[in-house]
Amino acid sequence: MKIAFLLVFITCLNVSAKVFSQEKLTLDLKNIRLEKALQTIEKESGYRFVYSPTEGPFNKLISIKTNQASLEEVLRTLLAGTTLNYSVQQDNLITILANTGTDKDITVQGSVKDVTGAGIPGVSIAVKGIKGIGTSTDINGKFSLKVPDRAILVFSIIGYETVEMAAGPSMNITLKEANNNLDEVVVQAYGKTTRRVTTSAISTLDMKNVAQIPVASINDAVAGRLPGVIVTASTGAPGAKSSISIRGGGTPLFVIDNVIRSANDFANLNPNDIEEYSILKDAAATALYGVSAANGVIIVTTKRGKEGQTTINYSYNQIFSQPTLFPEKMSAYDQAVALNKVYTDEGKSPFRTPADLEKVKTGSDPLNFPNTDWQALTMKKFAPEMRHDLSLTSGTKSLSYYASLSHYNQGSILRTDQNFNKRTTYRLNATSDIEKLNLKVTAGIDGFIENNAVPYAGYGGIYSHIQNRQPSQLALNEFGLPTSQPDNPVRELDPLSGYNKSTAKIFNSNLGLEYSAPFLEGLKLKVNGAYTTYNNFRKIWTYLAPAYAIGSKTPINAGPPSLTNEQGQGATLTLQGYLTYNKTFGDHAFDFTGVFERQTDDFSIVNGTRQNYQIIYDQIIAGPTLNATTGGSEGEKRRAAILARLKYSFKSKYTLEGSVRRDGDYIFPPGSQWGTFYAVSANYVVSEENFMKLLKEKHILDFFKLRGSYGQLGDKKDLISGEEIAPFQYVPAYGLNANAWVINGNLVQGSSEPGTLPRSTYSWQTIGSRNLGLEFGTLNNRLTGGFDYFYTRRKGFVASDPRFASTLGIGLPLVNVAGAAYRTEGFEFNLNWASNINDFSYKVGFNFTKSNSLWERYPTEADATIKNPYIRRTNTAGDFYGYGLHSLGFYTDNSQLLTGARVISPNIIAGDLKYYDANGDGKITADDNRQIGSNSFPRTNYGITIDLGYKGFSFNAVVQGAGTEIAILAMCCKDQVTKICWFMPIKPITGV
């Protein structure tokens, strides 16, 4: 110590020439001695260090990586966890001495809040430079931690700026939201990256503002929040799931914790369990998922435990929902007045006499002249929904866990107890870090139980009956019993009527082992296994409650009921092996990922039906065995893949990425089962160039990045049907008939010849995709945005070639139809403004997507159809709804029927539709059918998001809109003589 004090005395005679805090250093040192690190800093700065190598742990191995950090921060990091202290002297000299006293641990207590004053749960708190000491904030944002004196604490959580501060007995930390956190972690295929170096089109969702929204499915919460993402709902029935499309494609691939799961599994995911949510759009982002990712990929990672004290969260939501647009129906009196006018104009006797009209108006004879409000009888004002969410998280240095339980109960707007959806989800994730073995073990179980019930007539069927019944039709007799009025929804909702009930049980388990190689920094080996089982049961009781005549309580029974029971079960096993290597050499960074994956599926279904029940008892044993039927099927699926990705980045300014995947699938013929697909992408962060420095300093352009990608993917789904190509089409398939023949008075089994010629040359459909994009941030990153142009072209559709007629009496074999191709082109952009005024924070976003599609050649259209521009889908931009006659208005007078082309039918009179004679042959026939409608899917979509916060209170709103589309709301009545489809499409309300 005497030598050290003498050195200090000598250095104090000099005069300082530099301000210590202004020195900035960029370092990247790994596993070097502390003494060597100090020597490196001397070379990089104008400072010299004075210390005694024998008076402290100067041989300690350290690692540090900084970017323009102050010398003060660098030294605090290097000396953290040691007994060494530094002191800045004159003449740019820094002395480092061992503490003569004994360092003591201190207990730090405090809280972490956002700018509004609300506590932030789950904030990670670590000691800088010391591994193994840390905790996380509880539900109120509070924490307590024992740390070494003079330690530097690091407070971090996704979505907020990281804060470092010296430890003290009491600490109150405020975190600001990261407007454009370029180092934010982004989940990608089989790994993670950062927003700064991302080269492909990936959108992320901030779950902080989404998880709390009380919706039936996570899909509903996404609507309107991300560009290029289209969410549609076909019905509001309890249990109905919204569907997601990425850039107008079909059903995307869903991945939960790196394991491919079904769309139904994903829709039933508890939003509160999701930690990170990413949408992969272009080929560069999705190529590693190969054939399964032709329509894009949605990836989520679920929450895991954190080191620290136990945190318990509970929330309860009570929701009341109702239709936003609901047609107001005409009363029986208004209807009668309108019909009287029509009858008078047509020279007929009135529909209602004045006396009868008065009875309708006054309701004096409700049985013979009813005024039925069908909506009031069958529908409630609101549909109730309820959700409970409970989660528990805790952990130590070696073991952490996250557990959750959720129950969702969705009622119906219909007045019945036979229409509901009840879902219970559960999850348990555990992580064990075995430092001595350089091994991390992850394990988890999750699943759900869903019960759904619908009246046997169906939700849509009953709703249509409610809307189609006239107010002049009688629903109930004087005893309040349902009448025999056809399609009487009151009768269909009667407790005695039948139902369609189903139960789905899903259980998933996973286990992962990750080994970090100590002999080569950055090398990791990982194996992962997931096993999913499901069991589904459905019971359909087809029965209509009795009807009653006026003045009677005697039941009028409908036809005898029938009962169907169906049960399905299956299992999926996924095995994965990973090799990853991530290394930085100065300004050069390399990231490699290699994966082998194998997945097997096995399933079976069995069902049975008994008909003509004589005893009204909804059990299979109670039905007669006469005409009873049984059925079932079973199958298996197999696929495997080998894939690799390599990324190179220079100074995080230029990044180049390439990936390749070799896919194998059982559905294709031997020799064609494997396909190779690839993608390349790059980005250029222009804002990191020196010539952009002035713009960055003035916050005119804080961030600006260009990126582009091209790739070719495989596809095994039929674009027309949306289903997978049927397997084993290369094998002659014989049909089986349980009762094919009668021999000696006995039914015997038989078989039939193959219906289609086999072919062994068809293979993968391919999709070429390119994407160009830019991202920017300005005004101190308060205003951020992005723009993407995309183009995809699908070809090689598997179908029977329509150019050759089936003259052999057997179906033609499958081929990759030459020339058949489908392309989509479009663009998307988004703008976001985020800032705060004192305690008030706000964020407003706008996103817009527009795309269009074209069949270069429709795979099933024959040459004759292709040559007809009026009905072909080939070369028709935007597609169309269907075929039918084009209306020219109405016949206003019977004399108009004497001239011009018309439908040859004795029932055509004034008031009927007048149709266009498209082919000019003087008559209206099926040959005059032309394309009707435009898009059956919205091609233009936009969303506006609003997120506000003030002192612990928050407000979130989303407005979603879509361009014009033709919905499936139409009436097509086919004349059995002329075979003409009288097509009357009805356009839905669009724009909101």
The secondary structure of 304-367 as a DSSP string is ---SEEEEEEEEEEEEEE--SS-PPPPPHHHHHHHHHHHHHHTTPPPSS-HHHHHHHHHTSSTT
* Cβ-count burial 484-512 (b if 16+ within 10 Å, e if not): ebeebbbbbbbeebbbbbbbbebbbebeb
The answer to whether the beta carbons of residues 972 and 982 sit under 8 Å apart is yes
pLDDT at 531 over 90: yes
Distance (Å, rounded) from C-alpha 822 to C-alpha 249? Answer: 11
Question: Can you give the three-state secondary structure of 231-272, one letter per residue?
Answer: EECCCCCCCCCCEEEECCCCCCEEEECCEEECHHHHHCCCHH
Considering only CA atoms, give the Rg of the chain: 35
Range with lowest mean pLDDT among 401-405, 422-426, 984-988: 984-988
Residues 128 and 164: beta-carbon distance below 8 Å:
yes
Interatomic CA distance for residues 176 and 203, integer angstroms: 22
**981 confidence band (pLDDT: 50, 70, 90):** very low
The percent of residues above 90 in pLDDT, for the chain, comes to 33
Per mean pLDDT, which range of 19-28, 57-66, 461-470, 842-851 is the poorest? Answer: 19-28
Q: In the structure, what pLDDT confidence band is assigned to residue 42 with cuts at 50, 70 and 90?
A: confident
Contact criterion met (CB below 8 Å) for 296 and 280: yes
3-class secondary-structure state, position 691: helix
Helix, strand, coil percentages for the chain (3-state, nearest 5)? 15, 45, 40
What mean pLDDT is predicted for residues 831-844?
86
Max mean pLDDT range (749-753, 776-780, 854-858, 911-915): 776-780
Tell me: the pLDDT tens digits for 239-270? 888 888 888 777 888 999 888 888 889 999 99
Q: What is the pLDDT of residue 20?
A: 54
**CA distance linking residue 685 with residue 690, whole number of Å:** 11
Indicate if the pLDDT at residue 723 is higher than 80. no
**Coil, strand or helix at 988:** coil
**Which two structure tokens, joined as six digits, stand for 257?**
């914790």
Question: In the block, which residue shows the tokens 């039927």?
Answer: 629
Beta strand residue intervals within 519-627, DSSP E? 523-542, 562-585, 588-610
Q: Can you give the pLDDT at residue 18?
A: 40
- Among 129-143, 558-572, 822-836, 914-928, name the most confident range: 558-572
Token pair of 30, please? 């790994």
- The mean pLDDT value for 117-125 works out to 83
Q: What is the mean pLDDT of residues 458-465?
A: 89
Look at residue 747 and tell me whether its pLDDT is greater than 70.
Answer: yes
Cβ-based neighbours of 807, under 8 Å, separated by 6 or more: none
For residues 532-567, one letter each, b for 16 or more C-beta atoms within 10 angstroms of the residue's C-beta and e for the rest, the string is bbbebebbbbbbbbbbbeeeeeeeeeeeebbbbbbb
More confident residue, 116 or 923: 923
* Contacting residues for 39 by C-beta, under 8 A, at least 6 apart: none
Cα distance between residue 373 and residue 33, in whole Å: 86
Res. 575 pLDDT band, cuts 50 70 90: very high
- Predicted local distance difference test score (pLDDT) of residue 17: 34
Does residue 160 contact residue 115 with C-beta atoms inside 8 Å?
no
Residue 753 per-residue DSSP state: -
Above 80 in pLDDT, residue 314? yes
CB 283 within 8 A of CB 771: yes
Neighbours of 944 (CB within 10 A): 16
Q: Which helix (H) or strand (E) holds 463?
A: helix 459-468
Residue 567 has pLDDT above 90, yes or no: yes
Amino acid at site 795: K
Which pLDDT tens digit goes with each residue over 615-625?
Answer: 999 999 999 99
Reported as type and span, the H/E element at residue 586 is: none
- Cα–Cα distance measured from residue 674 to residue 290, given in angstroms and rounded to the nearest whole number: 11
Residue of higher predicted confidence among 176 and 429: 429
> Which residues are within 8 A (CB) of 940 and not within 5 positions of it... i.e. 6 or more apart?
848, 849, 850, 962, 963, 964
Question: What is the reported pLDDT for 709?
Answer: 94
pLDDT, mean of residues 739-750: 83
In this prediction, residues 202-210 reach a mean pLDDT of 82
Does residue 964 or residue 545 have the better pLDDT?
545
Give per-residue burial for 243-281: e unless 16+ CB within 10 Å, then b: bbbbbbbeebbbbbbbbbbebebbbbbbbbbbbbbbbbb
Mean pLDDT, residues 364-392 = 92
Distances in Å between the Cα of 69 and the Cα atoms of 64, 75, 177, 695 are: 11, 10, 22, 22
Pairing of strands 152-156, 124-127: antiparallel
CA distance 800 to 609: 36
Structure tokens at 365: 């004879």
* Residues 930-959: tens digit of each pLDDT: 877 666 667 788 889 888 888 767 787 888
DSSP bridge pairs for 771:
709, 790
In this predicted structure, the answer to whether residue 54 has a pLDDT above a threshold of 80 is: no
Model pLDDT, residue 101: 54
> What local confidence, expressed as pLDDT, does residue 16 receive?
37
- Residue 197: pLDDT band (50, 70, 90) is confident
CA distances from 307 to 110, 163, 207 (A): 17, 19, 21
Cα–Cα separations (whole angstroms), residue 826 to 562, 789, 791: 51, 6, 7
Residue 987, pLDDT score: 32
Predicted confidence band at 289 (pLDDT cuts at 50, 70, 90)? confident
DSSP state of 775: E
Comparing 328 with 963, the larger pLDDT belongs to: 328
Q: Which long-range contacts (CB under 8 A, 24 or more apart) does 909-914 make?
A: 910/346, 913/887, 913/889, 913/982, 913/984, 914/887, 914/888, 914/889, 914/890
Question: Which residue is associated with the tokens 């019993």?
Answer: 481
Contact assessment for residue 459 and residue 450, using Cβ atoms and an 8 Å cutoff: no
Cα–Cα distance for residue pair 886/888, rounded to 1 Å:
7
pLDDT digits (tens, 9 = 90+) for 332-349: 999 899 888 888 877 788
- For 601, phi then psi, to 5°, come to -130, 135
Spatial distance between the Cα atoms of 672 and 815, rounded to a whole number of angstroms: 12
**Portion of the chain with pLDDT greater than 70, in percent:** 90
Q: Which two tokens stand for residue 861?
A: 């259209």
**What residues are paired with 191 via a beta bridge?**
188
Residue with tokens 């809280």: 111
Provide the pLDDT for residue 934: 66
- Is-contact 610 623, C-beta < 8 A? yes
**Taking a C-beta distance cutoff of 8 angstroms, is the pair 881, 933 a contact?**
yes
**What is the overall mean pLDDT for the chain?**
83
Q: How far apart are CA 283 and CA 597, in angstroms?
A: 19
Query: Looking at this protein, which amino acid is placed at residue 241?
Result: K
Predicted local confidence at residue 611, as pLDDT: 94
- Go through 642-677 and write b for each residue having 16 or more CB atoms within 10 A of its CB, e for each that does not: bbebebbbeebbebebbbbbbbbbebbbeeebbbeb
- The average pLDDT across 51-62 equals 77
* pLDDT score of 580: 93
Which segment of 505-514, 632-641, 878-887 scores lowest on mean pLDDT?
878-887
